[in-house]
Amino acid sequence: MPGSAVYLRIHNRGQSDLTLVSASSSAARTLAFHRTVVEDDIARMEAVDSLLIPAGETVELRPGGMHIMLTGLTDDLLPESALPLQLECDSGEVYALDIPVMKMMMSERDDAVELGDLVFSNRWARPALSGMNVSAMPSG
Ligand SMILES: [Cu+2]
């Protein structure tokens, strides 16, 4: 199944907990919040309905953990391009971000974007081609 995954760090600098309830992009038909669970030494991914960002805390989406899964790609995700991502909060607020496509995370990056109470940083997505049956399957 062709697909990609988005990783990023989200810090809530506000006084209230925020919950992200959906993700969308013009580059893919389906986006879902996933977490990785390990049972009997086998890792698999599981969809979760929402992503809680507690007040004052930081949530990290990274390979092998939480991530945003993209399937049904409508655009090729090529290295050095960027994909548009919208995250919707339960308050109705929508956060629009560009996610750089890269093969791996290049350590810490100074790319923080402040939108309302949330600060997004270290964001990246795995490269993938929209037409391929076999792709570099995100490991989690
Ligand atoms: Cu996944």
At residue 139, the pLDDT reads 54
Q: Which CATH architecture has domain 3-125?
A: Sandwich (2.60)
Distance from Cα 60 to the centre of ligand 1, integer Å: 15
The mean per-residue pLDDT over the stretch 22-33 comes to 96
Q: Does the pLDDT at position 136 exceed 80?
A: no
Q: What is the dihedral of CA 83, 101, 76, 19, to 10 degrees?
A: -40
Residue 138 has, within 13 A of its CA and on its CB side, a CA count of 30
The environment of the single-atom ion ligand 1, i.e. residues with CB closer than 5 A, is 34, 45, 69
At residue 140, the pLDDT reads 55
Distance from Cα 15 to the centre of ligand 1, integer Å: 30
**Hey, what amino acid is at 93?**
E
Distance from Cα 31 to the centre of ligand 1, integer Å: 9
- Predicted TM-score (pTM) of the model is 0.89
Backbone φ and ψ for 71, nearest 5 degrees, come out as: -130, 165
Distance from Cα 50 to the centre of ligand 1, integer Å: 14
What lies within 8 Å, CB to CB, of 21 at 6+ separation is: 49, 50, 88, 89, 90
